[in-house]
Structure 1
Amino acid sequence: MADNELELVDKAAKRKKLILIGAAVLLLVIAAGGYFLLSGDSSAPEGGVEEGPVPTGSPESTAISGTALYVQMPRPFVFNVAGSNRDRLVQIRVQIMVRGDANQALALRHIPLIEGTLLATFSAANADELITTTGKEELKNRALIDLQNAMLDVVGTVVVAEILFTGFVMQ
């Protein structure tokens, strides 16, 4: 009888110990997750954005400040590009990143301008360049600059902060 009582006490003590260890691990995971979510990244984004303060009234400030929102282009861009051996057919799916609700509304209002500018930039590319990752990055950067200039001419602000290729097929 005494052995049964000791076994029950041991099992209860082990169960308590496991519950306490589990709670401590869960608390550490929650604390680590909270730290990473709240700490943020203070480094400047790469690619085309200059370091240093941007004056609040400048057109560039509207493109790099605010919450990041994404605008999906309604249809993929399909075009032919010339190559050294043969012409190739390319299909690119694009989303543009804007900062803030106002820029998102502007981007949605000017979808035809965005599509036309991107298609003109994409179709001027060379198939031999698009085969490489570097060539794709250069095309993306060229398209971003062309699109920012077009939006600056029409709207008066840069609007687009980044261009993202969400699909890229070349045949």
Structure 2
Amino acid sequence: MKMAEELELEPLDKGAKAGKKKLLVLGGVALVVLLAIGGGAWWFLSGDKAPAPQAAEAPVKAAPASDGEEALYVALPQPFVFNVPGNKRDRLVQITVQVMVRGQAKEDLVKKHLPLVESVLLQTFSQFSEEQLATSQGRETLRSTSQKAVDDALTKVTGNSVIERVLFTGFVMQ
């Protein structure tokens, strides 16, 4: 009886060892493939890269003004969310805004008068309809109208022009 049990156990042990060997070989192959992919990605990402053309950098960097002050951006703390009338139904619009100024003194003025800036922007945004905001030309008109309105309001309070540009960094209409 013992012989039969040993014979039955022996093939099972050999099969289990063969399964473990296959698992180890497959794991080793998978490891080599992962290392090859990782090495290729590292080589590709760390290789020498040609500098970007100057024309591509121009819109990203703001040119210094004649007085040499650098461009600074003041992000308004919360996006503007409001309704606009539409043909079939009202639409919900969300606009995230940043204001570009020149120099630390003007940045401080915008931060000081942030409630005024937000109020003027909200009043300006509420004057536009769905049809106007649905086109890129309409959004550009909104941006330039907003810029003029905010600069006029800040000029009345501070005595000089403060902002250079109003930027929409997010625009969603649903």
TM-score normalised per structure 1: 0.64
Q: Which stretches of structure 1, 4 residues or more, deviate above 2 A after TM superposition?
A: none
**Residue 170 (str. 1) matches residue 148 (str. 2):** no
Write out aligned runs for 1:124-135 (5 A): 124-135=127-138
Q: Tell me the distance in 2 between the aligned counterparts of 1:108 and 1:97.
A: 12
Aligned length: 124
Secondary structure in structure 2 of the residue aligned to 1:150 = helix
Greater Rg over alpha carbons, structure: 2
Aligned match for 1:123, one of 122, 126, 131: 126
* 1:77-106: CA deviation from partner (whole Å, max 9, x where unpaired): 011111222211100000110111110010
1:97 alignment counterpart: 100
2:162 alignment counterpart: 159
Mark the runs of 5 or more structure 1 residues left unpaired by the alignment.
1-25, 46-60
Write out aligned runs for 1:16-35 (5 A): none
Instruction: Provide the alpha-carbon RMSD of the alignment.
Output: 3.0
Q: What is the percent sequence identity of the aligned residues?
A: 44
Q: Tell me the distance in 2 between the aligned counterparts of 1:122 and 1:133.
A: 15
2:69 alignment counterpart: 66
**Residue 83 (str. 1) matches residue 86 (str. 2):** yes
Mark the runs of 5 or more structure 2 residues left unpaired by the alignment.
1-47
* 1:41-69: CA deviation from partner (whole Å, max 9, x where unpaired): 9xxx8xxxxxxxxxxxxxxx89x962100
- CA drift of 1:36 comes to 4.6
- CA drift of 1:157 comes to 1.4
